[in-house]
Amino acid sequence: MKSFSLIKTIVFLSLLYFNVFITTAQNPDNKALKIAENVVNAMGGRENYNSTRFIQWDFAKRTLYWDKWTGNVRIEAPEKHQVILVNINTLTGKVYENDTLVTDKNKIESLLQQGKNWWINDSYWLVMPWKLQDPGVSLKYVEVNKIGNGHLADVLQLTFNNVGVTPQNKYYVYVDQEDRLIKQWAFFTTIKDKEAKFTLPWDNYQKMENILLSFNRSQFGPKNVVVKQAFNENLFTELNYN
């Protein structure tokens, strides 16, 4: 009987530990989530971002055109002599090289995937603050730190659960306690890294229609942003659309 009681005790404690572990693991970082929501509100609010349809920008020697409502994207990569027209939701579209339509099926599939990967990376440099609470993103409050303008900032850690092109990455984002805008980010190649590969500013926020975006920054980042509702839809179907 003593042996049976001991086994019952061990099983009970094991189940108790398991339940506590699961509850803790699934418990969101509410402070981090609240700060993330403050960032969205400071930039114009979720509704205004969702109602924004067309964004164009330059990044890393590419020009991107994005219809947020349909998922249609046009990427012009002059150095590669490529124009990629891809729907990021269906991975369908067309590719041009040297002004000629690519017809090889395998090459088309490869370049459409490359185009989507470019969009994932290049858009993150522009609209990351709006994606802090995306599915698959884990937010954790880290600390308070002083940033370059002398203000105090709340530091949030971003990690990823099987989303994006490089889910092993980690970011620290620095949210200014005064205006609730992200003022810099630090990039770590892997979650385990202690030292950031780079730390760069998010500055020069500008009102674009009904939202704020950071571009033409003091250091590397997106440039020449255009936001509008009306545009030539042939952008996403034709090489020459004018």
Q: Is residue 7 part of a domain?
A: no
User: Among positive and negative, which fits the CA dihedral 44, 132, 87, 73?
Assistant: positive
pLDDT of residue 5: 45
Neighbours of 62 (CB within 10 A): 20
- Tell me how far the alpha carbon of residue 202 is from its chain's centroid: 14
pLDDT at 27 over 70: no
The CATH number given to whatever domain includes residue 216 is 2.50.20
Q: Is residue 1 part of a domain?
A: no
Q: Is residue 20 part of a domain?
A: no
Q: Is residue 21 part of a domain?
A: no
Q: Is residue 18 part of a domain?
A: no
By residue range, what is the domain housing residue 100?
Answer: 30-236
Q: Is residue 13 part of a domain?
A: no
pLDDT at 45 over 80: yes
pLDDT at 193 over 70: yes
pLDDT of residue 8: 41
Mean pLDDT of 142-160: 96
Q: Give the number of domains in the chain.
A: 1
Q: Is residue 4 part of a domain?
A: no
**Distance (Å, whole) CA 172 – CA 1:** 55
Tokens (6 digits) for 125: 């440099």
Q: Is residue 5 part of a domain?
A: no
